[in-house]
Structure 1
Amino acid sequence: MTSAALTGAGDERVARVGLVKRLLLKPELGGLIGAVLVFVFFASLSSVFRSPDGVANWLDVASTYGIMAVAVALLMIGGHFDLSAGVQMGTAAITSGILTTYYGLNTWVALLLSLLVCLAIGFINGYLVVRTGLPSFIITLGTFLMLQGLNLGVTKLVTNTVQVNNFNRIVGYDVLQKIFASEFTIAGARFQIAILWWIVATAVGSWVLLRTRFGNWIFAVGGDLTAARNVGVPVQRTTIVLFMTTSFAAWFAGTTQIVRLTSIQAQAGFGQELIFIVAAVIGGCLLTGGFGSVVGASVGALIFGMTAQGIIYAGWDADWFKFFLGAMLLLAVLTNQYIRRFAEQSRR
């Protein structure tokens, strides 16, 4: 027997993989490189951007995107989209606001009911996807349109305006403010607690995806649905849970918004679902499912936070943000396509 045979040469399971190749196989690598480049670019244009106050501002913007991007990334890795994720944020906030400020319901009961509403929406989305076999894009597009109309119609019917106000006057607001909208100070700058919740969401999401059986199910469902069923993966349950997870994140983000702003517009969250999806794609999630990273999705959200504030600090027209949104999506898709092909060739 030759030494090559003894060492397993030619066997991909024991073949040594170089450091560069291992790094290229990481789904979040492209996002990390992009984040560094975006930071360097805007930091060179504005001293405020790189100051403690500037960092606090763009981390604050990124935190809402990040919390949602974590849940959306898990869903995308599982092979699905939720176009109603942004509007659900508004639904959660509007429900809590109307029940407390206009109907006098106990604050905690109102929050629980708004959570149940969001979870029900997520369950319906997931159930319809697994029962009908229709693309999640179509199912959640319908949900998106219905919720958009419902948010506006109910808000105008109850308040005679297009917003819910005076949330800071409800009983228990001080406690909610500490949980969802308090601040902490670092280097003289005031950071929102939402940043910490974003870090927690990223850590928990990454642990679930990479260290639990459910995480294996997510990869299996998104990678090959038929194969997943054949090996006993509970496909329907996994899919429904993923949609409900996205709805929970929307409830949390929506509650954070109304607590911080003390009011909410009927159109809140409209259009943000695209940002969540793009953040996940920038972080390495494939549009076809079965591949991606929660950490990468958070990095994608960080890029958006830096870009949104960096454009302002640089003195540019804020409309350029849409240009960056499209450009980053295109670059991320092309990069992810290259990484996928490289990963496939490296396993041959």
Structure 2
Amino acid sequence: MTQSVRAVPGLSGRLLARPEVGALVAAALIFVFFLAAAPAFRSAESFFTVLYQSSTIGIVAVGVGMLMIGGEFDLSAGVITTTAGLVNSMFCWYFGVNLWIGALLSLAFCLLVGFLNGYLVMRTGIPSFLITLGTFFVLQGANLGVTKLVTGSVSSTDISRIDGFDSLGAIFASSFKVGPVTVWITVIWWILFVALSAWILQRTRIGNWFFAVGGAPDSARAVGVPVVRSKIGLFMTVSFLGWFVGMHTLYRFNTLQAGNGVGNEFLYIIAAVVGGTLLTGGFGNATGVAIGAFIFGMTSLGIVYAGWDPNWFKAFLGVMLLLAVLVNLYVKRMSTTRKAG
């Protein structure tokens, strides 16, 4: 009898020490709340619309969460999605070349931005917050200035008639029907990216490096972990996933507004934090980040389905962020106490 009584607290302690538990409980409560408050939320179509909304944030949030586990931030993650689409669109429209060439050029450009972010952070010692804030302003200004210079407006031209549009659209912006439900391919890609991230973080030596460089970079360097390469690789991962979402946005809507993407970087960070990723690095997982993105999708659309003023969404994000930080600190203490015991 005594042994069984001791086993239960041990099990609950292990569960509470997992990064995603708080987000999972919050997601369940929010889901039940909107089921009761918004009748339109109860249909299968609405659920898959929520998944789509979550995927457009969740794909980049996967990379941002990994970067935060590695102890860094990327405030250019939102605006680079628009940069990616604009480079592809305007290059091919202006020079009259196949969209595949522009897509590959855009990918190379985004990876270069990620490399430069990581390189500057590691070689200068300037906090990533400041380096990527500078990148944010450079990209934001270039998006607006170059687009207006090339097209005469702040939006790109329609690319739907350029060669390569259909094949790229099938990869990045297609959808299919499952009964009455429309499933966007970004939902599938999101699941795959989350699964890949979870495998890397939990099952590979590279994943161990990411936790090490975020939790104790000096100790990691002392035992031979390639700190510089690891962090540069994480910045480039964020840029790659930003490119991916930029391609989706371009090939779904055919055109882009040059000012789009600003502010999304905070949504990615909030998704990661709500999912259990610590702002101090070294703690978190991909599943938690995915749940955080799902909470974002549920709330942003649930408020609309309930017929409420959507301006309340920002207030909700602020409350969720504050609560998540408090919960994450508690979970971290639980995990540390359990390991010490």
| TM-score, scaled relative to structure 1 | 0.94
Task: Give the aligned partner of residue 10 of structure 1.
Answer: none
| Residue identity opposite 2:158 in structure 1 | N
2:89–2:99 CA contact under 8 A, matched in 1: no
1:260 to 2:248 alignment: no
Counterpart CA distance in 1 for 2:179 and 2:291 is 23
Superposition deviation, residue 189 in structure 1: 1.1
2:115–2:236 CA contact under 8 A, matched in 1: yes
Counterpart CA distance in 2 for 1:227 and 1:50 is 50
SS of aligned partner of 2:182: strand
Counterpart CA distance in 2 for 1:176 and 1:48 is 33
Task: Give the aligned partner of residue 38 of structure 1.
Answer: 30
1:217 to 2:209 alignment: yes
| TM-score, scaled relative to structure 2 | 0.96
1:83–1:137 CA contact under 8 A, matched in 2: yes
Counterpart CA distance in 2 for 1:297 and 1:219 is 15
1:153 to 2:149 alignment: no
Within 5 Å, give how 1:177-196 maps onto structure 2: 177-196=169-188
Task: Give the aligned partner of residue 106 of structure 1.
Answer: 98
Counterpart CA distance in 1 for 2:52 and 2:339 is 40
RMSD over aligned Cα atoms: 1.2
1:341 to 2:333 alignment: yes
Deviations 1:87-139 (A, max 9, x none): 10010000001012222122111101000000000000000010011110010
1:20 to 2:12 alignment: yes
1:67 to 2:72 alignment: no
2:100–2:168 CA contact under 8 A, matched in 1: no
Task: Give the aligned partner of residue 291 of structure 2.
Answer: 299
| Residue identity opposite 1:33 in structure 2 | V
Counterpart CA distance in 1 for 2:97 and 2:320 is 44
SS of aligned partner of 2:183: strand
Counterpart CA distance in 2 for 1:139 and 1:299 is 29
Within 5 Å, give how 1:137-176 maps onto structure 2: 137-176=129-168
Superposition deviation, residue 17 in structure 1: 7.5
Counterpart CA distance in 2 for 1:299 and 1:133 is 33
1:274 to 2:266 alignment: yes
Counterpart CA distance in 1 for 2:29 and 2:157 is 40
Of residues 242, 257, 272, the one that matches 1:250 is: 242
SS of aligned partner of 2:308: coil
| Residue identity opposite 2:102 in structure 1 | A
SS of aligned partner of 1:190: strand
Can you give the 5+ residue segments of structure 1 that lack an aligned partner in the other structure? 1-14
| Residue identity opposite 2:105 in structure 1 | L
Of residues 207, 227, 231, the one that matches 2:223 is: 231
Deviations 1:50-109 (A, max 9, x none): 201101211111001110110000000000000000010010000001012222122111
Q: How many residues were matched structurally?
A: 334
Superposition deviation, residue 258 in structure 1: 0.5
Of residues 119, 126, 129, the one that matches 1:127 is: 119
2:271–2:292 CA contact under 8 A, matched in 1: yes
Higher mean C-alpha deviation, range 98-107 or range 299-308: 98-107
Counterpart CA distance in 2 for 1:50 and 1:263 is 33
Counterpart CA distance in 1 for 2:272 and 2:54 is 13
Decide whether aligned partners of structure 1 residues 187 and 23 sit closer, same or farther in structure 2, where only a CA change above 3 A counts. Answer: farther
SS of aligned partner of 1:169: coil
1:52–1:187 CA contact under 8 A, matched in 2: no
| Identity value in percent | 54
SS of aligned partner of 1:194: helix
4+ long deviations beyond 3 Å? none
Superposition deviation, residue 329 in structure 1: 0.4
2:106–2:243 CA contact under 8 A, matched in 1: yes
Task: Give the aligned partner of residue 4 of structure 1.
Answer: none
Counterpart CA distance in 2 for 1:318 and 1:115 is 34
1:94 to 2:86 alignment: yes
Deviations 1:138-165 (A, max 9, x none): 1000000111001100000001111112
SS of aligned partner of 2:85: helix
Counterpart CA distance in 1 for 2:268 and 2:185 is 20
Q: Higher helix share goes to which structure? A: 2
Superposition deviation, residue 183 in structure 1: 1.1
Counterpart CA distance in 2 for 1:340 and 1:79 is 15
| Residue identity opposite 1:213 in structure 2 | R
2:110–2:240 CA contact under 8 A, matched in 1: yes
